[in-house]
Structure 1
Amino acid sequence: MKLNCITVDDEPPALGLLNTFVEQTPFLNLMGQYANGVEALQAIHSQSIHLVFLDIQMPDLNGMELARIISQTNSLVQTRIVFTTAYNQFAVEGYKVDALDYLMKPFSYEEFLRAATKGKNHFELAENNLQENCMFVKSDYKLIRVDFDSILYIESFKDYVKIHLTPPAAPIITLSRLKAIEDKLPPSRFLRIHRSFIVAIHKVDSISRNAVSIGKTTLSVGDLYKDAFKELMGV
């Protein structure tokens, strides 16, 4: 599993060292570097970020304030914080905002790698626990949990995907490609039947030669998908 991360520090040498450590670590993907908490918060809201390597003493919005905002607004799969600071008096506050780790400057690559590996283990465990029952998609700058049992079908448009759910739940719209969503779904429970449609197999009410019906909705089966559809459905 590769983790998306950002680095945040108002001191250029410290920020440069953090970036070097991230780039040395194969399972980390550096999505951005920021000199203040305001820019970092904007990045977290607009991207899927797993780890934030975060200094505490910064102007405008300091690291502890940023961590409080993240802990209050994150979804179930949280962006996790690793504090990087020269001041040990913030350690207790760090635990209050559920920081993953607390690195005291100056720290070695070995110490950095230990904290990064803790993050990797955290997200792999969370993914293993959830992947059989749900997925998370980004919508309205948040990660939204979508239970597989609640999905009726998934519809693709040019630049986004609409996930239709069992009523009364409203559809979820996410900026994504259908293939990216398909890769998150268990193939035993979902079937691509068209370039624009994936259906939940257990929600199909009836099937015909060229279409499936889910409730009052009829969806066409594309020519490229007919063989796989017939094999799975036994028609």
Structure 2
Amino acid sequence: MKIKCIAVDDEPLALEMICTFINQTSFLSLEAKFENAIEALSYLHQNEVDLLFLDIQMPDLTGMELARVLERRNTQSSTRIIFTTAYDQFALEGYKVDAMDYLLKPFDYEEFLRAATKALHYFQNKTVIKTSDTEQKDYIFIKVEYQLVKVMLKEIIYVEGYKDYVKIHLNTKESPVLSLTTLKNMEEILPEESFMRIHRSYIISLDHIVSISRNSVNMGKSTLTVSDHYKDSFLKFIDKWIS
């Protein structure tokens, strides 16, 4: 498979080095390169991209700011990010925006290839099979260990995300089902009319809500916090729920 990439860095030499590394990696396809994040964002609005090699410290719009814009954007895009930076203090921030990896400058091709290979494994092993946009189904398939398991949407109470895997809590099982995927991937596949993300770590089923407050949701056996990042959309949902 070919992973469609773009590279963004305001330092011309660094940008050319990343482009060279991409071009010499057989499973990567360089679609475009940019010296500022604003031009990259415009391109991303018009084009599907799998992987973004993104510098953090840039004028006008930083790489971290661009990552947050992409995270908030209402889209089915699954663009993943590998940050490239000379500053290691941004590692925690990169985790917060679900970055795939973090390359600390100066890095060599071996380090680049390690991060790129991690991306290849991710795209090769996407653990949820998406149904057609024109065909609504009442189930999904998820990869559990070495097999695909069918999960009925009506059985999902909520999904709990960790760094590299999720726990899917079902009303038919005592223990959650574990799958090696990301919460962002689950958010993309679960129908938005039935599921809502309320926290960096939680997606809930609207059908399984027992009670709500302005800051939390009771899902029966669990009460989950609504984070500030998702509070506006949640409050809009509450308004509809009580109207």
RMSD of aligned Cα (Å): 1.8
TM-fit CA distance, 1:19: 0.3
Residue of structure 1 equivalent to 2:128: 129
Residue of structure 1 equivalent to 2:22: 22
Does the C-alpha gap of structure 1 residues 119 and 74 become closer, same or farther in structure 2, counting only changes over 3 Å? farther
Cα displacement string for residues 5-32 of structure 1 (whole angstroms, at most 9, x for unaligned residues): 0000000000000000000011111010
Moved runs in structure 1, 4+ residues, more than 3 A? 74-77, 145-150
Residue of structure 1 equivalent to 2:106: 106
* SS of corresponding position for 2:60: coil
Q: Distance in 2 between matches of 1:50 and 1:20?
A: 18
User: For structure 2, which runs of at least 5 residues remain unmatched after alignment?
Assistant: 139-243
Does the C-alpha gap of structure 1 residues 124 and 23 become closer, same or farther in structure 2, counting only changes over 3 Å? same
Residue of structure 2 equivalent to 1:11: 11
**Alignment length, in residue pairs?**
138
Q: Distance in 1 between matches of 2:55 and 2:6?
A: 11
Matches within 5 A, 1:140-219: 145-147=133-135, 149=137
Residue of structure 1 equivalent to 2:63: 63
Q: Distance in 2 between matches of 1:61 and 1:125?
A: 32
Identity of counterpart residues, as a percentage?
54
Q: Distance in 1 between matches of 2:74 and 2:123?
A: 15
Cα displacement string for residues 92-124 of structure 1 (whole angstroms, at most 9, x for unaligned residues): 000000000000000111111111111111112
Residue of structure 1 equivalent to 2:87: 87
Amino acid at match of 2:131: C
Q: Distance in 1 between matches of 2:37 and 2:19?
A: 17
Residue of structure 1 equivalent to 2:36: 36
Does the C-alpha gap of structure 1 residues 17 and 96 become closer, same or farther in structure 2, counting only changes over 3 Å? same
Q: TM-score, normalised by structure 1?
A: 0.55
Q: TM-score, normalised by structure 2?
A: 0.54
Residue of structure 1 equivalent to 2:186: none
User: For structure 1, which runs of at least 5 residues remain unmatched after alignment?
Assistant: 136-144, 151-235
Residue of structure 2 equivalent to 1:195: none
